[in-house]
Structure formats: C-alpha cells, structure tokens
C-alpha cells in the first residue's frame, strides 16, 4: 500500500548557508509579487475596457493562471525583471509562482462555489518582513547523506541536520521510500527541512476488533469509552505568564512603522525572536502530545469514532475560544484520519446532530435539554448517574459497534473516503471476516437529518 508521508528535521545552518536560503526565499517572493502585479494589471485593464464599451473580442487577451502559464510568462521576462536569476535555483522562482497559481485557483473556485468552506480572498503581495521564508525543491539532487546527519539540496549544497535522519534513511536504503520534494522553511526562529516521501507500506494483518468512542473536551482532552481520561495539559495556559511578559517587553522596544517608514531596532528584533520561540515551544509541546495520543489510539483499536464538531463555530464563544484552540480538536481528527488507515483500522465520524451527550448509554432515553454546566448525566428513566463525557463516549462506541455487528460498515459522508484502494480490497479478500480497513465515514443516526 502506497501512501504519502512527510519527514521533518531541524537544520543547523552556517551564516553563509542561511544567507543563501534567504536569497532563495527572496527570489520566490520576487516571482510571486511580479506575477501577481501582472495578473492584476490585466484584470484591471479588461475591467476598464468593458466600462468603455469595448467588445469582448477586442479586450486585452486573458492571462493564464495555471503554473505552466505563469512560468512561461516569467521565463520570457526574467532577464529584465531579475537579471540575477542565475544566482539561485530555478525552484525558488517556481515556488513563488506555484503559490500564486494555487491562491488564484482557490479564489476562483471559492467564488464559483467549487470550493467548500470559508471564502478565500484574492492573493496579496508578500512582504519580506511579514511572510514566512520557504522554498520547495522538486527536481535536482535531493538526498540524505550516508552519515544520516547531512542532506544535499540543489544549489544549497550539503546542509547539517540537528538530529539524525535514520528513520528516513532506513526506508530509502531498503527501497520502500522515494523522495518527491523537499521544503526548507523557517519556523519559530529555526530552519527546518521537510521531505515529502512516497512510502510503500505493508498491508496490516488482521487484528481483533476493538471499538472505542472518543469524546474530546476542555476539562479532559479526550474521554474514551473504556473509561480512560486523557488529561488536558493546557500548554498555552502554562506559558501564558511568560508570553505576557515577553509581549510587554516587546511593546517597549522601537518597532517598525509603515507610515513613517521607521525600521525596527535591533533590540526589537531580538525581543520579537524571543517571543516567537516561546510560541513555537507551546506549539511543539501541543503537537507532540496530540501525536502520542492519536498514535496510541490508532494502534490499539480497530475502529475509532469521533464527533463531527463545528470547531469554527465553537471558537466564537469568547469565554472558551482560547481553551478550545489550545486543545486542538481539529488536529486530533486530522491525525486519526490517516493514522487509522496506516494501521488498518476505521475512523467513523458521527453526524453533527447526533445527541451523544443527551442520550442515556444504558437505556437509550434522550433528554430534551442538557445545559453545558451539567457535567454529570442523570437519567430519569433508569437512574443512571455517569460523567457527561464518559456517557457520550459510550454512546459513540455503541453506535459504531451496532454498525459493525450489522455488517453495514461506515457510511460515506462529509470528508469521507468513499473508495477503497485495490491493495486494501485484496487484503480484505485474503482475510475474510475482517473489517474493510482504511475507510473514513459519517455515521448518521436513524430518524435525523443534518440541517
């Protein structure tokens, strides 16, 4: 079974190497801004000509928004626009043009209704002070050195890693992985290289069916139907006092001012770097904890069911928005989606309107109303007294167990993978009686429809 996976490693760059990487990032920004200005000029010209009553056949010719079209225009003008283009890799310019092509496509699809979700705005010009330096290499020499502590990238040469790349090197040496691209990016004051790798994974063997319901929350990060309570570390709250102190220290320094063209002082830059590192540490701690949780769930259980939460709507609650964002509800579901497929399991998503918290896990009675402050579920029919989140997790697990027992499997819904890969189909044929692994679906309760 082939899958796409990313390997991310920290870099230890020398000052000259960092200047070279920044030069490549500046070239990408130059190509992006020039092409965007060209696109806007053509659009404005066509709009002005229409206002003058010019026929559509006589309008200024359209400019293609695809990556090949933008690259063709750039190659024709790069000698005039960037006479220094030979000093950097061609992948730097391709990075900026690709970002613009994707941004224009997302904006167009969002306006035409082809793209679901929040509306996308028109691409904006990138600033050297505000955008994150990033370069993506898709061609040329991209490899991991035999010592596993260095990587080689086009035009950048041999770069030292801060940590060993043995996990990726082992797969490359065994022939079960192929590097597709490499992206160098600065995050939190440090440089990282991320390899996009196509990996040949072994088809997971049949495992005993184990169903678990996961109810995420703020008091506990996750409550499992098995009774396990996963504590919420609240990394942002723990670092809040330090972040506040660093923010106050930054506010006392002389920063930039776009109106007066005032440049930031060196003390402001150092203070800004300290604040960025503190935020990066919180993000890394949160990411590490979520990876440990989702990996353990995907390995220990065959079927996992979660709720389809409206995280964007929950963030509108001004009292709970900070805690919800710190928990990372959406990241938990995203990681479970691909990790269950890697481990040969299921991820089922209960419908957003399924009353998991209002339903009694013992008798099935549904309450008409259940306020958020009621943390203990008390059934008026059977007398069950249980923690609210544990009751919801048991309802989710029971819902999944009923479908697996009936043999219906997951139902395709929002964000579902409706097709099974050929390799997975062969695995199911060789192992009769096992669940069709690797599928993601939406479980809808009977008698209810989504609004």
Q: State pLDDT tens for residues 246-304.
A: 999 999 999 888 889 899 999 999 999 999 999 999 999 999 999 999 999 999 998 99
Token digits for 319? 């009292």
The residue annotated as part of the active site, out of 91, 98, 215, 351, is 215
Percent pLDDT > 70 in the chain is 88
Is 308 an active-site residue?
A: no
Residue 402, pLDDT score = 60
Q: What is the pLDDT of residues 85-112, one digit of tens each?
A: 999 999 999 999 999 999 999 999 999 9
Residue 133, pLDDT score = 95
CA distance 21 to 347: 40
Residue 243 confidence (pLDDT) above 60: yes
CA distance 308 to 351: 6
Is 91 an active-site residue?
A: no
The residue annotated as part of the active site, out of 308, 326, 351, 389, is 389
Residue 42 confidence (pLDDT) above 90: yes
- Split at pLDDT 50, 70, 90, the class of 410 is very low
Among 19-28, 123-132, 394-403, the range scoring the smallest mean pLDDT is 394-403
Q: What is the pLDDT of residues 411-429, one digit of tens each?
A: 333 333 333 334 333 433 3
Residue 128 confidence (pLDDT) above 80: yes
The residue annotated as part of the active site, out of 91, 98, 307, 341, is 307
Among 16-20, 348-352, 406-410, 440-444, the range scoring the smallest mean pLDDT is 406-410
Residue 77, pLDDT score = 94
- Split at pLDDT 50, 70, 90, the class of 404 is low
Which strands form 229-231's sheet, in the order they lie side by side?
229-231, 220-224, 211-216, 303-307, 346-350, 440-443
- Split at pLDDT 50, 70, 90, the class of 401 is low
CA distance 270 to 84: 31
- Split at pLDDT 50, 70, 90, the class of 400 is confident
Report CA-CA distances (Å) from 218 to 229, 231, 246, 313, 324.
Answer: 12, 9, 26, 16, 7
CATH number, span 211-229+282-443? 3.30.420
Say if CB 282 and CB 236 are below 8 A apart.
yes
DSSP per-residue string spanning 277-311? HHHHHHHHHHHHHHHHHHHHHHHH-SEEEEE---H
CA distance 27 to 21: 10
Domain boundaries, the chain: 2-15+133-200, 17-112, 211-229+282-443
Q: What is the pLDDT of residues 156-172, one digit of tens each?
A: 999 999 999 999 999 99
Is 307 an active-site residue?
A: yes
CA distance 63 to 79: 20
- Split at pLDDT 50, 70, 90, the class of 189 is confident
- Answer with the residue of higher pLDDT: 353 or 34: 34
Residue 177 confidence (pLDDT) above 60: yes
| Percentages of the chain per state (helix, strand, coil), in multiples of 5 | 45, 20, 40
CA distance 310 to 50: 43
Q: Is the dihedral of CA 321, 326, 329, 333 positive or negative?
A: positive
Residues in the chain: 451
Q: What is the pLDDT of residues 12-25, one digit of tens each?
A: 999 999 999 999 99
Residue 394 confidence (pLDDT) above 70: yes
Q: If residue 137 lies in a helix (H) or strand (E), which one and from where to where? A: strand 134-137
- Answer with the residue of higher pLDDT: 157 or 117: 157
- Split at pLDDT 50, 70, 90, the class of 181 is very high
């Amino acid at each position: 079974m082939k899958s796409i996976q990313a390997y991310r490693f920290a870099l230890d760059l020398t000052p000259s190497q960092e200047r070279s990487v920044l030069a490549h990032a500046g070239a990408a920004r130059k190509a992006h801004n020039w092409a965007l200005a060209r696109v806007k000029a053509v659009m404005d010209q066509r709009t002005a000509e229409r206002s003058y009553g010019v026929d559509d056949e006589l309008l200024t010719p359209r400019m293609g928004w695809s990556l090949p079209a933008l690259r063709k225009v750039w190659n024709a003008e790069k000698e005039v626009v960037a006479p220094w283009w030979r000093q950097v890799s061609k992948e730097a310019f391709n990075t900026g043009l690709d970002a613009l092509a994707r941004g224009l496509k997302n904006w167009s699809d969002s306006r035409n209704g082809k793209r679901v979700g929040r509306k996308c705005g028109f691409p904006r010009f990138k600033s050297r002070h505000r955008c994150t330096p990033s370069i993506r290499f898709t061609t040329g020499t991209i490899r991991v050195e035999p010592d596993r502590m260095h990587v080689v990238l086009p035009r950048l040469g041999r770069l030292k890693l801060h940590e060993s790349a043995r996990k990726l090197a082992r797969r490359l040496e065994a022939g079960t992985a192929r590097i597709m691209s490499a992206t160098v990016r600065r995050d939190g004051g440090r440089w990282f290289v991320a390899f996009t790798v196509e990996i040949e994974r072994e088809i997971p063997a049949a495992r005993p069916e184990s169903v678990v319901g996961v109810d995420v929350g703020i008091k506990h990060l996750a409550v499992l139907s098995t009774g396990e309570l996963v504590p919420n570390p609240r990394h942002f709250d723990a670092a809040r006092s330090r972040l506040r102190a660093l923010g106050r220290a930054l506010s006392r320094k002389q920063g930039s001012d776009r109106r007066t063209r005032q440049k930031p002082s060196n003390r402001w830059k150092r203070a800004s770097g300290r604040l960025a590192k503190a935020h990066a540490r919180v993000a890394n701690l949160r990411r590490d904890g979520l990876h440990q949780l989702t990996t353990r769930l995907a390995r220990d259980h065959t079927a996992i069911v979660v709720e389809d939460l409206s995280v964007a709507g929950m963030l509108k609650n001004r009292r709970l928005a900070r805690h919800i964002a710190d928990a990372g509800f959406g990241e938990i579901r995203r990681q479970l989606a691909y990790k269950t497929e890697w481990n040969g399991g299921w991820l089922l998503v209960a419908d957003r309107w399924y009353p998991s918290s209002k339903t009694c896990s013992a008798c099935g009675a549904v309450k008409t109303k259940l306020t958020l402050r009621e943390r203990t579920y008390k059934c008026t029919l059977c007398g069950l007294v249980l923690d609210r989140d544990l009751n919801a997790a048991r309802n989710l697990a029971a819902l999944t167990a009923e479908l697996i027992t009936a043999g219906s499997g997951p139902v395709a819904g929002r964000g579902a993978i409706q097709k099974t890969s050929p390799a997975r189909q062969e695995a199911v044929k060789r192992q009769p009686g096992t669940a069709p692994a690797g599928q993601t679906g939406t479980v809808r309760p009977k008698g209810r429809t989504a609004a």
